[in-house]
Amino acid sequence: MTADFIIIGAGSAGCALANRLSEDPQNKVVLLEFGGSDIGPFIQMPAALSYPMNMSRYDWGYESAPEPHLGGRKLALPRGKVVGGSSSINGMVYVRGNACDFDTWEEMGAKGWGYQDVLPYFQRLENTKGEAGWRGKSGPLYVSRGTRWNPLYDAFVQAGEEAGYARTEDYNGYRQEGFGDMEMTVHKGRRWSASNAYLWPIKGRKNLETISGARVLRVLMEDKRAVGVEYMRGGQVHQLKCTREVIVSASSINSPKLLMHSGIGDASALSALGIDVVADRKGVGANLQDHLELYIQQACTQPITLFKHWNLISKGLIGAQWLFGKAGLGTTNHFETCGFIRSKAGVQYPDIQFHFLPFAVRYDGQAAAEGHGYQVHVGPMRSKSRGSVTLQSADPMDKPNVLFNYMSHEDDWEDFRQCIRLTRELFGQKAFDQYRGKEIQPGSDVQTNDQLDAFIKEHAESAFHPCGTCKMGDASDASAVVDSECRVIGVDGLRVADSSIFPQITNGNLNAPSIMVGEKAADHILGKGMLPASDQQAWVHPNWQTEQR
């Protein structure tokens, strides 16, 4: 069919857009996705999360360029190549971000994206038992909490309180700062991806066509207006036209790549590759941000961690229990408690996040050789380092160059050292006395700034939260790519709606704000007016200027 709207990418934002734009049966919507089906136990079983992000069937297989400040290491960068996008291969952690994040977006030129503007969209998308008045109760995205089956979960929250921090009953509600239960996108024992939330319930809609296996090569432009797309499927190149708009929701890596191949980007760089320039926007691919993190690991003196299940028999039993009853240890991502704190006095809102795990293991599934242990994933939430996504060549089949430029700002080193010290302080609290063995990583002998820096340089890993490469801002801002209605500046009929439009990275995991972007962008595209702004005021520490906790 000839489309009214073409959406590129069935990821976190794209699934939400496809659902909302096709609610009106008059709108003909085509959703293009290069990846295939998300049916299968590796994706749908929450505890199997380390598998899909390491499978070429589901992952684009990107990695960073050699990072100059991390000893030339290339860091893995999994991105979902499957229906549901990265929401089908991520860790399922649900964090909206801090209220101040969105107020900062507005200050940076994203008008109408302050906290009181975006809160109604978070509420529209959520289905949760969270804090009344702050959370959504009837949206498509189910958000749940774990059972805290392991005593180490409680020990972590208690250690936070013993260290002088507060508890928070709902970090996605009134108060983010503090320690408490972590939320996950899991429903009835299954991963609740954007696909499960937004696409499967509407698969019968006649006006929505989803084409999988479609690799979009470029947006078709006529006189600075987007009129369709060119894509490859089954070895054949196809063109698809639309009457209204093309919406790019292809990820913070693929969205700027696609714009550049379509002639939108830094004119001199595009011309040097022989790409005809449609719009000179130097911000396309710039402003790349991410969360870098360390795993701080402690040996556990009691045999109670997930390590006891790290064998084929246990894994088989857990898999069978999940497969036949959607029950047991397969139904959780195992990130069941967490903390959000400020690194020092003078920081207005949390800039450190802790994911606690009752196991010492890496994202690639490599367990600590020491056996029983527990760990936190920790890192600075608002790094000052910025990187870029650039083209290798004019061939859209080539992978892009991705340079995060991690740790290029001196403040990042001090922030990371502080993360390590504050984590050690937590693990040193009385709550852990009955469990605490030796420090596995970094190791108790790593103490001086130089020793800590060497450890960071060798062991820091991406938390897989890239964003910012099609920055939203005022049309007069030369570094902005889209305006506050997600329209690409300098052309017509083209929008970007995904994590690439974030002006600044949010405090937490990116799936929730990415889905929110899809929800809000849909209302901009349909021209139906925004949901009424909230009058809720989120909590900020009253003495943040003088107190760290």
What distance in Å separates the CA atoms of residue 368 and residue 380, rounded to the nearest whole number? 24
What distance in Å separates the CA atoms of residue 539 and residue 480, rounded to the nearest whole number? 30
82 appears as a binding residue in the annotation: yes
Q: What is the pLDDT of residue 370?
A: 76
93 appears as a binding residue in the annotation: yes
216 burial class (0-12, 13-18, 19+ CB within 10 angstroms)? buried
What distance in Å separates the CA atoms of residue 508 and residue 463, rounded to the nearest whole number? 10
Is 356 within a domain?
A: yes
Domain count, the chain: 1
What distance in Å separates the CA atoms of residue 112 and residue 485, rounded to the nearest whole number? 9
Among the listed residues 281, 275, 250, the one whose alpha carbon sits nearest the alpha carbon of residue 261: 275
What distance in Å separates the CA atoms of residue 2 and residue 239, rounded to the nearest whole number? 11
83 appears as a binding residue in the annotation: no
Q: Which DSSP symbol is given to 67?
A: B
Whether the bond between 442 and the residue before it is cis, its omega within 30 degrees of 0, is: yes
Token output for 130 = 């969270």
What distance in Å separates the CA atoms of residue 297 and residue 290, rounded to the nearest whole number? 22
Q: What is the pLDDT of residue 369?
A: 65
Q: Which residues contact 404 (CB under 8 A, 6 or more apart)?
A: 64, 67, 75, 288, 290, 385, 387, 462, 466
HSE (side-chain half, CA atoms, 13 Å) at 370: 20
What distance in Å separates the CA atoms of residue 33 and residue 85, rounded to the nearest whole number? 9
DSSP 465-514: --B-TT-B--TT-TT-SB-TTSBBTTSBSEEE-SGGG-SS--SS-SHHHH
Give the residue numbers marked as catalytic: 465
Q: Which residue is listed with tokens 């017509």?
A: 492
Token output for 417 = 């050292």
**183-202: b or e for each residue (b if 16 or more CB lie within 10 Å)?**
bbbbbebbbbbbbbbbbeee
Output the 3-class SS for 179-234.
EEECEECEECCEECCHHHHHHHHHCCCCCEEEEECCEEEEEEEECCEEEEEEEEEC
Q: Which DSSP symbol is given to 177?
A: S
| pTM of model > 0.85 | yes
Positive/negative CA dihedral, 499, 504, 505, 507:
negative
Is 305 within a domain?
A: yes
Distances (CA, A) of 369 to 295, 299, 304: 14, 10, 16
Is 231 within a domain?
A: no
Is 139 within a domain?
A: no
Regions of the chain with pLDDT less than 70: 1, 363-369
Query: Residue 307 sits in a domain of what CATH number?
Result: 3.30.410.40
Among the listed residues 88, 496, 200, 150, the one whose alpha carbon sits nearest the alpha carbon of residue 356: 150
What is the residue range of 323's domain?
Answer: 144-184+292-380+408-459
Per-residue pLDDT tens over the stretch 339-383: 999 999 999 999 999 999 999 987 666 666 678 999 999 999 999
* 467 close to 12: Cβ distance less than 8 angstroms: no
Q: Which residues contact 437 (CB under 8 A, 6 or more apart)?
A: 298, 299, 300, 301, 372, 373
Is 435 within a domain?
A: yes
Chain centroid, CA 472 distance in Å? 17
* 375 close to 361: Cβ distance less than 8 angstroms: yes
Token output for 155 = 């020990």
Is 537 within a domain?
A: no
* 97 close to 115: Cβ distance less than 8 angstroms: no
Q: Which residues contact 408 (CB under 8 A, 6 or more apart)?
A: 68, 69, 385, 386
174 burial class (0-12, 13-18, 19+ CB within 10 angstroms)? middle
Is 395 within a domain?
A: no
Token output for 354 = 């802790």
Is 452 within a domain?
A: yes
